[in-house]
Every structure is written in C-alpha cells, then in structure tokens.
Structure 1
Amino acid sequence: MSDDVALDAAGTDALDVVRAEPLCAETPARLLSSSITPAASVYVRSNFALPLLSATHTIDIGGAVQSAFAISLPELAALPQRQVTVTLECAGNGRLGMDPVPTGEPWRFGAVSTTNWSGVSLCTLLERAGLGSDVVEVLGVGADAGPRDDAEGDVRFARSLPIADAMHPDTIVATHMAGAPLSVDHGAPARLIVPGWYGMASVKWLVGLEALTTPFGGYFQRMRYVYDVDGTIAPVRRARVKSMITSPTEGRQCARAVTVQGWAWSGAGAIARVELAVNDAAIWMDAALGTPESAYAWTPFEAELLLPEGATATIWSRATDTAGNAQPERIAWNRLGYGNNGVRGVAVGVG
C-alpha cells in the first residue's frame, strides 16, 4: 500500500495508522464497540513491503507428505468452503501500556478486531497430501520478506503450528474477509486464519505449506514473536485472556450512574467471568455476559455501576476464562513487548 492510501485511510477515520509503510494500523476506539468490526477498519499488521501476487498464484504443499502438490486459486474456490468468525489480536497489542515501553511497533490497544473469514480448511489440503506419521508441525510460508537488523540477508515470514492446531477444521486457508475477496493488506489472495492464536500465526500472502518432522526454528519462531523474560525464551502462541471496556470511553464525562460495556476474549477457552472495579476499591463486581458471535469471537459484557462522587474515576475490568486463566494486575515484562493482558482501567469524568 502506498503512503497516500494509508494516509487516506487515516483521514477518513477508517484506521489509526501506527506506521504508514509497511502499513501497521489499529481499529479506532470508537469502532471497537461493534461485535463485528467494519471491514475497512480491521487492524493491519505488516512486517515488510507488500508482495503483489497474481491471479495465477499457487500454493505449494509439501514436506513430509506422500504426494506434494500445488493448488491454484480456482482449485481452492472449488473445494468445500468453511466460514469462521474470529477475534484476531496482534501479539504486540498494548505494547505502549508496558513500563518501560519495549522495542517494536508502538501499538496502543486497537490492534484487535473481529470479523468473518472464509476459505478451505487447512486439514483438507493436508489430508490430500497425506501426512507422514512422524509430522509434528505444519509450516506456513508467506511471500513477504525483507531485511532485519539482527539477521543476515532477507528474512521471509514463516510460522509453524503444532499438528493438532493445523488439523483443526476451523484453521483455514482464507480467501475472503467479510464476504469479499481479501485485500492486499489483509493477505490477498490467500492467508491462514488460526482461531485462538495471536495474529502472527495467521500467515498472510501464503505461498507454501510444509509438513515438518522436527520443530521449526526460523527467525519469526525463535527471534521474534517470543516471550523473552530475563533471557528465558518461549514462543508466542495462543492469545492470553483479556478484556476491554468500550463504553464509556477514556476521558468521557459520565453521570454517577453509568452503564459499562465491553468485550472479553481468550485463546485458551470461553470467557467464564468478567469483573469490574472502580478506583482502588478491593471489591470486584460481576458483569453480565452476553453471547459471542462464535466460539472464537469476543464475549460481550455489561454492568450498571454507581461511580463515587468526585471529579474523576477509573473503571477496571478483569476477565477469567474456563481454563482458569485470569487477567493479572501486571504481566511479567518481556523484552519484545508481547502478550500484554494486564488489567487496564478507563478514566472518566464524573458529574
């Protein structure tokens, strides 16, 4: 995407641009209240310049398989199609909320969106290829590549998935978003969508799928999209449990009686509970949970609060999932600034 197009998106309030080239942009706060994010405002994360792939593009499926093959876009379209509604979050979302601020794109809190994706189940392609019995991971390879300060030569974007996640029927090779063909920014003509995982697993501009018999150790598996805490390295995988208040918004003037609304999501299980608190009160109250659009979409919550008298108040939200994971007050700081799911407050005026 050119700078002109990126700046036009910012000018129409469709996206809040974090970096114009390659484009990294957030969903504006005012649009995060929608259960389905407007298509023009689904957040964008790009690591390198956009690759432009032609209509004759094919995806190679190989590695430890019985019958390697390449599949064209018309062949993909002719296969059974599957649709999934997914809340997708950038692993670096909330990086500016960490202290000190780590290196990386200066994401605030809008690098998260919920939308509909459709395409072919990844397992359909893998089953056609015939996986070897010793396959442990499936590698997704993108067409995007470029230089990195801490690597020699150009680095291609690639990430692997454990075989169980790759074979799940709702992990798809997507060709459409919100009922329309993918845009270039969102990975056209085809990308992975991996429900429950942070966005880096949903490899864009997909050119290859490779069955692996040993774990992948590429740049974006061991150097980036890892939790680096005091030199201990762990790969970023499923999205941590998190909540977000969408109403009232930061800085809004409120009456003492206020309706609080927002979303909660987790890659480890359904949302079991959302609690709210005001200022430094030790008492948390339960919010009412609504019904998510799908098993992979954020869960709405709502509660009526009576704010204390005073000029300002801060409303806090805390989510817990069915696996027993709860948002911490503060996360363990990590060098690259991933997975910030610490409890976050919204400051409002009162009166």
Structure 2
Amino acid sequence: MTTQDTLRAPLDVVRAHPLCAETPVPQLQHAVTPPESVYVRSNFETPAAHDGWTLEVRGAVERPLSLALGELSLLPPHTVLVTMECAGNWRLGMTPVPEGEPWQYGAVSTTRWSGVPLSALLAQAGVSGDAIEVLAIGADAGPRSDAEGLVRFERALPLDMALHPDTLVATHMDGVPLTPEHGAPLRLIVPGWYGMASVKWLAALEVRTSPFTGYFQTKRYVYHTDTGTTPVSRALVKSMIVSPAPDSACAAETEVRGWAWSGHGAITRVQVAVNGTWHEATLGTADSAYAWTPFTLAVALPTDLVELRSRATDASGATQPDTIVWNSLGYGNNAVRAIHVVVR
C-alpha cells in the first residue's frame, strides 16, 4: 500500500511522492480539522514502522535511554490542541514564486495530539547542566540536489522549548494512533512553532552542548536575509477568512467568519476589510492556548464583486503586514490575503 492509499478522505495533493497535501477549503471551516483532512508535509518517502521501534535519548545526559513503544505507553499521557502550519504555507502568493512545494493556503490544520511530555523523558535521562538544545532525529532520509549522500530529517529545538510541559512525543492524533503519513509511531509536537519543528517518525533525541548545523537547520527552513541566515521557528501572526469561501457567491447580509493564530501570543485584534474599508471583527474564544481564535463580522456587502481581507494582531504587538515579505525559500508568508466573492 502506498502512502497515498493510506489517506482516508479528501486532501488537496500538492505532490504525491513524497506526499505533500493541503487541507481542502471546506474542511478549513471546522474549529478542529477532521483527522483525515489534516495537512501532510513530507520531505522524504514515509519510512516503514515496525514493532521493534525504539526511541533513543542520548548525548549530554547522565543516563542514555532506549525506550520501546510499550515503555512509552506506561508514562502519564498528555494532550494538546494545536494549530500547526507549514512554514511554506501560501508560498504561491509570493512573486516571484520561490523554490519549494507550491503550497496555496491550506497547509494549516488544528487537531489534538496525545503522547508523553518530552520533559518527562529528558528528566529520566538527566540533562547535562551545559546543554543548550535537543536535536530531534527522524527516521526519514533521502537525497537532496544540494547535498552529498543521504540527508536525514533532523531539527534542533532550544532547551527551554524542549522542556516546555506541552512539547510532546506524540503517539496519537485525534484519539487514535498516528497514521504513517502523520509520523507513526512517534512524532514531536512543538506548539506555536511552524510544522518543521514537529519532527515525524521520531527515532532519537540528542541533547547537545553546541549548536546543530545540519541541512534542515542551516540550508532549509531558514530565513535568508542581508545580515545572515536565521532558522525558522515560531509561527508568525496570521489570519484567514473561511466563510464566505473564496470565489463563491453570497448574500448581501453576510457574516464573515475566519481564524487567526500566532506562535508569539494570543490574538488580541482582527480587522476585516470590505473593498478596502477596515472594520473591527468580534473575537471568539480559542479552544486552547495553541489553537486558532475565531473571528466574525456581520456586514452588509455591496452588490457585485467584493474583495475581503483580514488582518490580525497578537499579544506581542505584531500585526500582519499588508505586503508580502519575500524571502528566497518562501517561508513565513503571513501577509494580509485578499479573497473575492460575488454578492447577489
């Protein structure tokens, strides 16, 4: 059975091998994304899971660990509801379009993840006093055109985030064991960060006393600027309108609905523009500290083709930019996005 065959409901496939697929527009209206429509991002083909899978905890620790799946299941479980977004989401909105997967805007989903807090495993191992980060090592690997040999998917996480009580080694999504395309049997979940930090098919955790400089830390999932290269980390403040749907027809008396999220703090404000005129939207309550916040605006739309835009602000004071901040790899596009509807 191929990876694509394991999908149980519609996804908008961007690439079949390795599988990259977006949450379809209708499914983006759900507060919690249906599990079969949670977006998928794979850098390499899905590795085969097996009964003898173990998780190694090594490096700058007092007691290296090798944990079987059964041992992990005996530890106290923890669940978090998280909005997760691919760092390359809406790459197609950039001009010129940078290299990378041609994501539209559906590489974002909200779902429940359950597993063991990473901090509990690190406590068992005993982290060295001079540790600065934890390297998450996936079992997936493959060739890259700009690297020699096989490249493994590995990403480092600062120690404070690794020790955060809601950073998980997840075994379940939406109450059932992880499926292959979502990282079975183990994946990391890092709330508030772009999806590349939530390493799938987790095989090892290496506590480090020096910065990791591997491929996916310094050549991909980085922002290239005039002053240097910075690894992609927390999700930038962003919003999207989900109703009315883009390019749909709607009545003049309409409630505009959408979601706003940020890895830098709670959403404090959303504005909706109708043909360029901004209105204050009403904020709902997020279902968790890491889930998107609903917003609504009841408005009378003019008859004809109407442009709608949304703009969010988070607790850090950051607001979505009106224009796209272009970068060569197409990450972190959180600019205000326009949709168009026909009002009848």
Q: TM-score, normalised by structure 1?
A: 0.96
Change (3 A) 1:4 1:239: closer
Equivalent pair of 1:2/1:21 in contact (CA under 8 Å): no
Query: 2:320 aligned with 1:327, yes or no?
Result: yes
Q: Kindly state the Cα deviation for residue 40 of structure 1 after the two structures are TM-superposed.
A: 0.4
Tell me the secondary structure at the aligned position of residue 122 of structure 2: helix
The answer to whether the Cα contact below 8 Å between 2:4 and 2:19 also exists between their aligned partners in 1 is: no
Shift of 1:205: 0.3
Q: How many residues align?
A: 344
The residue aligned with 1:289 is: 283
Contact kept in structure 1, 2:240 and 2:258, CA below 8 Å: yes
Alignment match, 1:208: 204
* Structure 2 counterparts to residues 181-260 of structure 1, below 5 A: 181-230=177-226, 232-260=228-256
Q: Which residue of 2 aligns with 1:116?
A: 112
Does residue 1:304 correspond to 2:291, yes or no?
A: no
In the alignment, residue 224 of structure 1 is paired with which amino acid?
A: R
Deviation of residue 19 (structure 1)? 0.4
Residue 3 of structure 1 deviates from its aligned partner by 6.7
CA contact (8 A) 1:36 1:115 kept: yes
Identify if the C-alpha distance between structure 1 residues 51 and 4 changes in structure 2 by more than 3 Å, giving closer, same or farther.
Answer: closer
Give CA-to-partner distance per residue, 1:178-219, whole Å, 9 cap, x none. Answer: 000000100000000000000000000000001111111110
Amino acid at match of 2:54: T
Q: For residue 295 of structure 1, what is the amino acid of its counterpart?
A: A
Separation (CA, whole Å) in 1 of partners of 2:2 and 2:56: 29
AA aligned to 2:287 is E
- Distance in 1 (alpha carbons) for counterparts of 2:26 and 2:250: 17
1:297 and 1:107 mapped to 2: Cα distance? 21
| 1:65-108 deviation per Cα after TM superposition (whole angstroms, max 9, x unaligned) | 11111111000000000000000100000000111111100000
What residue number does 1:93 align with?
89
State whether residues 229 and 332 of structure 1, in contact with CA within 8 Å, keep that contact through their aligned partners in structure 2: no
Report how far residue 257 of structure 1 moved: 1.9
Partner of 1:2: 2
Question: Counterpart of 1:53 in 2: which secondary structure?
Answer: coil
Q: Which amino acid aligns with 1:346?
A: I
- What secondary structure is seen at the aligned counterpart in 2 of 1:32? helix
RMSD: 1.3
Q: Give how far 1:232 is off.
A: 3.0
Deviations 1:197-251 (A, max 9, x none): 0000000000000111111111000000001135731110000000010000111
Structure 1 window deviating more from structure 2 (137-146 vs 226-235): it is: 226-235
Match of 2:330 among 315, 320, 337: 337
| 8 A Cα contact 2:3 2:181, kept in partner | no
Query: Residue 53 of structure 1 corresponds to which residue in structure 2?
Result: 49
- Give, as a single letter, the amino acid of the residue that structure 2 aligns with 1:323: S
Q: Find the residue that maps to 1:221 and give its secondary structure.
A: helix
Distance in 1, matches of 2:63 and 2:28, equals 44
Aligned counterparts of 1:172 and 1:253: Cα–Cα separation in 2 = 42
Following superposition, the deviation at residue 55 of structure 1 comes to: 1.4
**1:139–1:158 contact (8 Å) kept in structure 2:** yes
SS class of match (1:261): strand
TM-score, normalised to structure 2, is 0.98
For 1:239 and 1:181, how far apart are their aligned partners in 2? 26
Does the CA-based 8 Å contact 1:229-1:333 persist in structure 2? no
Aligned to 1:228, the other structure's residue is in SS state: strand
| Partner amino acid, structure 1, of 2:285 | T
**Equivalent residue for 1:165?**
161
1:225 is matched by which residue type in structure 2?
Y
Contact kept in structure 2, 1:256 and 1:306, CA below 8 Å: yes
Q: 1:285 and 1:36 mapped to 2: Cα distance? A: 27
Offset of 1:296 from its aligned partner?
A: 0.3
1:95-153: CA deviation from partner (whole Å, max 9, x where unpaired):
00111111100000000000000000000000111111110000000000000000000
In the alignment, the residues of structure 2 paired with residue 280 and residue 49 of structure 1 have an alpha-carbon distance, to the nearest angstrom, of 44
CA distance in 2, matches of 1:257, 1:50: 47
Identity within the alignment, %: 58
Unaligned runs of 5+ in 1: none
Tell whether the 8 Å contact from 2:269 to 2:314 is kept in structure 1 after alignment: yes
Judge conservation of contact 1:122–1:166 (CA < 8 Å) in 2.
yes
- Flag structure 2 segments of 5+ consecutive residues without an equivalent: none
Distance 1:24 1:252 in 2: 26
Helix, strand or coil: the match of 1:99? coil
Partners in 2 of 1:305 and 1:138 — Cα distance?
49
Which residue type is aligned with residue 126 of structure 1? Answer: L
